[in-house]
């Protein structure tokens, strides 16, 4: 069978096209391009009367037989939702006509300057184009890689549902998927302004050439205009260098389409503009892959949709009442702008309360310590004019904070004013330790005025955004009507402690924070991600090297089976457990025998039903031990932050231990932030205030919430607790875990069994 005969089933008669287009009437003309004119018309096809688009070759424009047959070959083999579909063609006499599915809304360039094309629609269109390019750049095993060579807004078609369709493959270049990416092309083609400068000037073509062109389209979508300016029918200016400078100089507001910025969620805008800028970087190696572009654009859309859902959920009238109390007064022109301000937060109540909302529209507030702390020896200090280094504190929300030597008793009085109804809140005390040493256990003992028994704070967290520490005091659900909280704190002298430091401990207090409880349950903690395993071209390619490291021979017949095999995991290198998360990120578990000192830990063999490693370590030490870790960049996913989880079991002797088993953590590299200490049993959750604030409730479902530094019971019988976060680029880190306070010396590490440490992508 000849080359042309292979496509005979797609041929239709010229007369059918003439009839459908009324002999190529101008009334049927819908566009022009480098190939020729485009017409619309209806054909009688097996599925019925169908509107289609006819692209008629005009050789005077520079294209001809090669481009015609290349388009047919390409689109007959490559099928994707975001690629325009070739339905038929005609090759009679001098006429060469391609017949496509009809994209009723035409090309993207027609809508760039239309503010009615919303930011969300623009994001979805860009994601569609990126997915289409990903399909071309990273093909299935049976296909060749395709470089389009003419990506521009005029070649992106839109159907009735605004679905993007990449079109015009006449200039595309194909090659084996496994061959080097770069081609040397003597005859450079494409559209000025969109072409990769390296390709345009030197003829070097690669996948990154398409990435550059797509980056130009992203900027067009953002700026609402084409990348080129014309004067007298001649190209006079290419705007891409200006757009790059505006990004670098943080002047994007000067070039964004008027009326579009008001629709944007800031995070969405930042994600979109950052990836657009990287696409048009001059250095090819600095441009992202199309897979990374898809990920970042999807993230930008996710941020935007979360914001739009927020707009629908909030009681805007109540938020306006809060905004009216702002100090200084707020200036905003729309409800969207007000929500942006609330997401950032602002001062109210004469500057003594900080109010903001979270992405669910729930109010968070922090009451200044100068307003709610009471005691005989409290000192108010200026946050911005500390007289010496010792008195300086982290960035403060308020102009003033409270200073206290912890031999002094004090009281806190706060209420639920401004808080969202029917929302469960955690009450935090926000503080900073100002002594010469920095204990990891924060020994606050406190109670509500109506209570008789004192509670103990357990775990302190470092706030990454402003440097203050927080520890939980209570949880409660905010019902309609005010709730008042009067909380008494014991002085340090009344708490039985080690006094090992030999000097008084000093604290700076920013205030009391009411923060909505994160909506996380103890079930499936991973974010639900839609995984289309049968259409995932890189599943085997991405994990092939690790599969080859498996201790056992691994078999599968479909990509779905391979996906679930990777989700379950398997041993690699003989002693590490490798698996993937739902969003295809790599996970790794390391056995304890590889990072614990065998002089202090005893290795015991156990059945596989008890441990995947068939060996665990049992502690012979009592009050401290070290963990030496390194994030393995050869195994873990690049450019990914990981949480570190200790997998352990407590000996039976601690079943009746009533208090919190709190241990401190030291990190010599000072990169460890969350938490400063961890708890090994389940007695470290904050007490829950009853529904009317009059008494403490018995332990309930709220205590089962996931919290950093708090342990969780696993389905396999082991306990786990997160103790750190690391990046793959992190070098060796040594963690020292120890029992700090003497009053906890009744608890020690002797007999604790550790299975290993697991790295999970965040």
741: number of Cβ within 10 Å: 17
732: number of Cβ within 10 Å: 10
Contacts of 726 (CB under 8 A, 6+ apart): 629, 631, 641, 642, 644, 671, 733, 759
Secondary-structure breakdown of the chain: helix, strand, coil percentages, each rounded to the nearest 5: 25, 30, 45
Phi, psi of 190, rounded to the nearest 5 degrees: 135, -170
Tokens read off for 672: 């460890």
Q: According to the annotation, is 161 in a ligand binding site? A: no
Tokens read off for 679: 């708890």
Calpha distance 185→206 (Å, rounded): 10
- Sheet bearing 484-489, strands edge to edge: 373-374, 410-415, 484-489, 445-448, 455-456
Query: Residues in the chain, how many?
Result: 762
From the number of C-beta atoms within 10 Å of its C-beta (0-12, 13-18, 19+), residue 555 rates as exposed
Distance of CA 711 to the CA centre of its chain: 25
Calpha distance 728→591 (Å, rounded): 19
Calpha distance 447→714 (Å, rounded): 32
Cα angle 72, 77, 79 (rounded to 5 degrees) comes to: 105
β-partners of residue 628 are 734
Q: Closest by alpha carbon to 115, among 223, 212, 26, 34? A: 223
Q: Could you tell me the sign of the dihedral formed by the alpha carbons of 184, 188, 191, 195, in that order?
A: positive
Tokens 């002094």 appear where?
A: 408
User: CA separation (Å) from 115 to 129, 164, 445?
Assistant: 20, 18, 57
Element (H, E) at 470: strand 469-478
Q: Closest by alpha carbon to 726, among 681, 653, 676, 674? A: 674
Q: Closest by alpha carbon to 411, among 443, 444, 459, 364? A: 444
Tokens read off for 204: 């070097």
Tokens 């595309």 appear where?
A: 172
Tokens 């990190």 appear where?
A: 667
Calpha distance 476→515 (Å, rounded): 11
Contacts of 126 (CB under 8 A, 6+ apart): 164, 217, 218, 221, 272, 297
Question: Which residues are annotated as part of the binding site?
Answer: 55
Residues belonging to the binding site for ATP are 55
């Amino acid at each position: 069978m000849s080359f042309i005969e292979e496509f005979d089933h797609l041929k239709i008669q010229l007369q059918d096209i003439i009839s459908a287009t009324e002999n190529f009437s101008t009334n049927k003309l819908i566009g022009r391009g480098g190939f020729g004119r485009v017409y619309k018309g209806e054909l009688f096809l097996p599925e019925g009367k169908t509107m289609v688009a006819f692209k008629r070759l005009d050789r005077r424009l520079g294209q001809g037989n090669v481009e015609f047959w290349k388009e047919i070959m390409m689109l007959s083999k490559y099928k994707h939702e975001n690629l325009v579909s070739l339905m038929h063609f005609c090759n009679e006499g001098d006429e060469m006509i391609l017949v496509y599915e009809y994209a009723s809304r035409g090309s993207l360039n027609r809508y760039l300057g239309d503010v009615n094309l919303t930011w969300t629609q623009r994001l979805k269109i860009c994601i569609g184009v990126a997915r289409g390019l990903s399909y071309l750049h990273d093909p299935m095993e049976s296909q060749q890689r395709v470089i389009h060579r003419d990506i521009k807004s005029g070649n992106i078609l839109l159907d009735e549902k605004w679905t993007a369709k990449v079109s015009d493959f006449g200039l595309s270049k194909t090659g084996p998927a496994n061959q080097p990416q770069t081609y040397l092309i003597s005859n450079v083609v494409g559209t000025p302004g969109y072409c990769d400068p390296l390709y345009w000037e030197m003829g070097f073509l690669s996948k990154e050439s398409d990435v550059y062109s797509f980056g130009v389209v992203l900027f067009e979508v953002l700026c609402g205009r084409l990348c080129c300016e014309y004067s007298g029918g001649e190209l006079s200016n290419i705007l891409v260098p200006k757009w790059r400078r505006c990004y670098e100089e943080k002047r994007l507001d000067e070039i964004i389409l008027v009326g579009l910025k008001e629709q944007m969620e800031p995070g969405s805008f930042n994600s979109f503009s950052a990836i657009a800028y990287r696409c048009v970087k001059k250095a090819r190696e600095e441009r992202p892959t199309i897979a990374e572009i898809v990920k970042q654009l999807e993230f930008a859309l996710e941020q935007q949709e979360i914001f739009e859902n927020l707009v629908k959920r909030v009681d805007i009238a109540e938020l306006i009442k809060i905004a009216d109390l702002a100090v200084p007064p707020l200036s905003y022109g729309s409800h969207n702008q007000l929500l942006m301000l609330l997401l950032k937060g602002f001062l109210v109540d004469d500057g003594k309360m900080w109010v903001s909302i979270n992405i669910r529209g729930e109010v968070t507030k922090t009451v200044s310590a100068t307003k709610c702390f009471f005691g005989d020896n409290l000192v108010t200090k200026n946050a911005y004019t500390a007289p010496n280094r010792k008195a300086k504190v982290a960035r403060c929300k308020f102009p003033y904070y409270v200073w206290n030597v912890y031999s002094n008793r004090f009281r806190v009085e706060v209420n639920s004013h401004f808080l969202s109804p029917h929302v469960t809140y955690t009450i935090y005390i926000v503080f900073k330790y100002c002594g010469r040493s920095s204990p990891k256990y924060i020994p606050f003992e406190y109670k509500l005025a109506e209570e008789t028994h004192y509670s103990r704070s357990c775990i302190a967290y470092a706030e990454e955004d402003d440097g203050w520490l927080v520890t939980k005091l209570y949880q409660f659900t905010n019902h309609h009507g005010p709730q008042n909280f009067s909380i008494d704190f014991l002085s340090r002298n009344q708490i039985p402690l080690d006094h090992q430091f030999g000097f008084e401990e000093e604290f700076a207090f920013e205030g009391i924070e009411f923060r909505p409880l994160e909506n996380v349950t103890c079930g499936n903690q991973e974010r639900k991600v839609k995984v289309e395993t049968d259409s995932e071209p890189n599943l085997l390619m991405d994990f092939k090297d690790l599969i080859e490291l498996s201790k056992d021979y691994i078999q599968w017949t479909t990509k779905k089976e391979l996906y679930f095999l990777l989700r379950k995991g398997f041993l690699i290198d003989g002693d590490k457990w490798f698996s993937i998360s739902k969003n295809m990120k790599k996970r790794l578990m390391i056995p304890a025998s590889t990072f614990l000192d065998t002089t202090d830990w005893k290795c015991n063999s156990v059945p596989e039903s008890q441990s995947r490693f068939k060996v665990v370590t049992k502690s012979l030490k009592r009050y401290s031990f070290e963990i030496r870790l390194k994030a393995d960049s050869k195994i873990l996913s690049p450019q990914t932050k990981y949480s570190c989880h200790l997998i352990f079991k407590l000996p039976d002797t601690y079943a009746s231990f009533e208090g919190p088993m709190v241990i401190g953590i030291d990190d010599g590299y000072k990169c460890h932030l969350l938490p400063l200490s961890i708890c090994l049993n389940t007695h470290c959750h904050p007490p829950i205030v009853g529904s009317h604030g009059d008494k403490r409730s018995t332990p309930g479902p709220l205590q089962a919430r996931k919290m950093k530094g708090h342990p969780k019971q696993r389905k396999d019988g082991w306990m786990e607790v997160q103790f750190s976060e690391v990046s793959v680029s992190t070098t060796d880190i040594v963690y020292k875990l120890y029992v700090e306070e003497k009053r906890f010396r009744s608890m020690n590490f002797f007999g604790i069994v550790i299975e290993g440490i697991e790295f999970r992508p965040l």
